[in-house]
Chain A
Amino acid sequence: MTYKSQSVAKLYFIAAIALFVAQILFGLIMGLQYVMGDFLFPAIPFNVARMVHTNALIVWLLMAFMGAAYYLVPEEAETELFAPWLATLMFWIFLLAAGATVAGYLLLSYSDLADLTMNEMLPTMGREFLEQPTITKLGIVVVALAFLFNIGMTILKGRKTVVNLVLLLGLTGLAVFFLFSFYNPTNVVLDKFYWWWVVHLWVEGVWELILGAILAFVLIKVTGVDREVIEKWLYIIIAMTLITGIIGTGHHYYWIGTPEYWQWWGSIFSAMEPIPFFMMTVFAFNMVNKRRREHPNKAATLWALGTAVMAFLGAGVWGFLHTLSPVNYYTHGTQITAAHGHMAFYGAYVMISLTIISYAMPLLRGRNAANPAKSQTLEMWSFWLMTISIVFITLFLTGAGILQVYLQRVAENPQPFMAVQDQIGLFYWLREIAGLIFLVGLVLYIASFFVGQDEPEPAVAD
């Protein structure tokens, strides 16, 4: 690594992977609970496992994004990070807050947690993915502000590249939209309307800017292609993201009590949301094809290309399948949703996080450019295991979803929810097996950081 202060990223990356493991473990618990309802009841009921699973995902992705920023911004800005001590301090605050929150979920009843954390003073609890106590949310705001300040000041004193500015814009948007988690209207329609201003405008909005910037950075490094070419692609991709995604929020407004025109606006604009992902795929493969060097970090290149493809499939294609309102009328809130959600999150945000970690960690640990062949091979095995098992998880859930939609909503004599769940149990068992293989992939991924440490890295061919 070129700048000493980039090393703060290491803490964030390690915590990110640790929380990733926690996320998967709780996911496996839930997967089993789908078919063995009493599993771990009453110690860890389904709803608690779910909160831990989803919150851990969000926190570890945020950790990864922060680590990514702390790593790439000094390098892009060609100057040391403004305040490395602040980054370290915020890391510990964030980690402790996250840990305390998860402990709260697991050890207390949710209502006791609300009382303990004085939720009634400014009620923000009780909404999906935003279950954190208000004080945790306030802590997140503080951490985010300190982070943006640190990154912003670094960019201000250094080179303002397109990658830096797009990343900063995305991260600022992330912080701004998180503020809507504090807005908790009593009217249920408005409650849901604004909830999506956090969730949709994150994952189908500003997070895509973060994804694009990180992908562009890694491609610049591993391909050696002219920065201007890559930056121009980045501009076009994020413009398409915003053009399609902002009004595309309407695809969450079909059935919550908003006016009918949202079915048109949401369908038409969100139908085009796959376009930026398609462009990212073409962009990534194009850049690698036109590469001017053979970068020794093959694993990072694989992750980068994989991100583009899986994001397109999971977010783009699977998203498109259920985005049009006449289709969504039948599929809303079914396993189709879960199928899309898992492949989209993995393909876009998990994979871009693993891409930047794959690229940066060797350098943060003192390597010149990449890990030795042995480590990279193991890492690439983990790539294929995790990616292919997610594809199978998605296919199984899609199968479950199609059957569920048919039996519960389309058939001449629709059946009740639980009666249908009983009949799609096989898909859930298969999903769980795929999930176990995913965990194996994750374990191998972690192992790849420890094997071959004494071996030399591959020679740099220029």
Chain B
Amino acid sequence: MSGKKTTLGLRPCTWVYLFLMTFTFVTFLVGQMGLSGLTVSLLILLLALIKGELVGYYFMGLGRVKGLWHWPVFIWLFIPGILIGTAFYLAS
């Protein structure tokens, strides 16, 4: 959902969009600079999970849903996120 216009006359979803684009660039730059290591990887992963939750909450409209259906995307990000993080931790 987009909702009423807020700051600077932009809808909330537009703000989310700008955030997503910006932090995609950040992820890309991290890759280009060849940054590696557990901390960097986990931060990138966390960023990806946050981006995913924003898509679920705002773009998919799950933020406005009450009850069980509010959660699946969050759980999908949380559990695999933990698993991936663990695997990278164990690999380092």
A and B in direct contact, judged by CB atoms within 8 A: no
Chain A residues in the interface with B (C-beta under 8 A):
none
Residues of B within 8 A of A (CB): none
